[in-house]
Amino acid sequence: MLLNTRQLLPAVALIFMSLQWAGAQTPVNTQSTKRTKALLSNLSHTTGNGYILFGQEDALAYGVGWKNKPGFSDIKSVCGDYPAVYGWDLCNIGLLPFNIDTVRFDSMRLWIRQAYRRGGIHSFSWHLRNPKTGGSSWDTTAAVADILPGGPLHDFYKSQLDYVADYLGNLKTGFPFSHRIPVIFRPFHEQNGGWFWWGKPHCTPEEYKALYRFTFHYLTEVKKLNNVLFAYSPDVFETEADYLLYYPGDEYVDVMGLDMYHFTSRTLDTMMHKLGAVVRLAESRKKVAALTETGYEKIPDAQWWTYQLLQPMLSDPDAHRVAYVMVWRNAWPSHHYGPYPGHPSAPNFVAFANDARIFMERDLPRMYRLPKKAKTRKTPAK
């Protein structure tokens, strides 16, 4: 049963405990800031309390029929609230003033700061251009071996990491009490697919692991980037062994994700079975599980949000313990993954956002603190 909690009397849900809670998770970077530690611990508590955070890529930067409108969001226009999780991309960092989706990095910094002050969470992918050719990340010329230590392009790769570290390290709240904003970094995603230069079959699993591990060590040890959680997010896989084929190790990963879109040829049972497997793998390693990219392009089913996404996820014995679900961007009428005003699925999205188990931005407790008790305005999930 879907619960519209905005029509109920205010209720208090005690969903987050102290750091001493037995299930508390700590970042793989032992030097992480206290707020970064709190974010990961609170995300792990979310999974154990039946709540799922909703997110979208580029939600503040543009939508269907608009761009760069202060305070605007298609999601907010539909349901009255912002997403809880925001996705961004670092492609072109250090090369151009804007990323692959023409979002300016200075504007992105402003939106991230504003959403953080409201309590929102930020995740970054990195569609790094092919270091060997200068082509896009979809240029599948093999390049991973060249950027590993000892490779001819290793110094170039370090220079790219310097740009990443400079940007993420300078995401700060501003005066008078400035601090770094915690973020989730999701490098070299969908590596089990063949469409990116770091994917199968353009590098070996061992080369990929070496690249991920070097990236982690360089950012945390050399650049002292202590406000970052690290995510591993393959595309759809066949078996759990396939999911772990490129896995760099428990000491390098905070979030175990899955990128999985809904196509007419892909059944929802298959999708939730895969997501459930990721949840089990994450829990066995004391990691947070997330559906790091998903959606149904153009959302042709007007009831998709509740009957094709939420209910199957909640019905699966394991998939419902995912921490967050992030749909892709709203670019234009033929390429969008969230609702916008007037879209046939908009009323159903309102029901989805109002459900007691879905957290939008203002449903979030203080994700960057570890109080003994935190309040939310939604009833406890069942």
The pLDDT tens digits of the residues spanning 278-325 come to 999 999 999 999 999 999 999 999 999 999 999 999 999 999 999 999
Q: What DSSP character marks residue 42? A: H
Q: In this structure, what is the dihedral angle of CA atoms 209, 214, 217, 223, given to the nearest 10 degrees?
A: -140
* Amino acid letter, residue 324: Y
State the pLDDT confidence band at 54, using cuts at 50, 70 and 90.
very high
| Catalytic (active site) residue 283 | no
Spot the catalytic one: 57, 207, 293, 361. Answer: 293
**What integer pLDDT is reported at residue 371 of this predicted model?**
60
Q: What is the mean pLDDT of residues 257-265?
A: 89
CA-based nearest residue to 322, from 231, 209, 242, 191:
231
Question: H-type helices in the chain, by residue range?
Answer: 34-48, 74-79, 105-118, 144-147, 154-169, 205-217, 240-243, 268-284, 311-315, 346-354
Asked if 124 contacts 112 with a C-beta cutoff of 8 angstroms, the reply is no
**What integer pLDDT is reported at residue 50 of this predicted model?**
86
The overall average pLDDT reported for the chain is 91
| Catalytic (active site) residue 293 | yes
* Amino acid letter, residue 201: P
For residue range 194-210, list pLDDT tens digits in order: 999 999 999 999 999 99
State the pLDDT confidence band at 21, using cuts at 50, 70 and 90.
very low
**What integer pLDDT is reported at residue 303 of this predicted model?**
97
Looking at per-residue confidence, does 247 or 270 come out higher?
A: 247
State the pLDDT confidence band at 14, using cuts at 50, 70 and 90.
very low
Classify domain 5-363 by CATH number.
3.20.20.80
Asked if 249 contacts 224 with a C-beta cutoff of 8 angstroms, the reply is no
Spot the catalytic one: 57, 190, 283, 361. Answer: 190
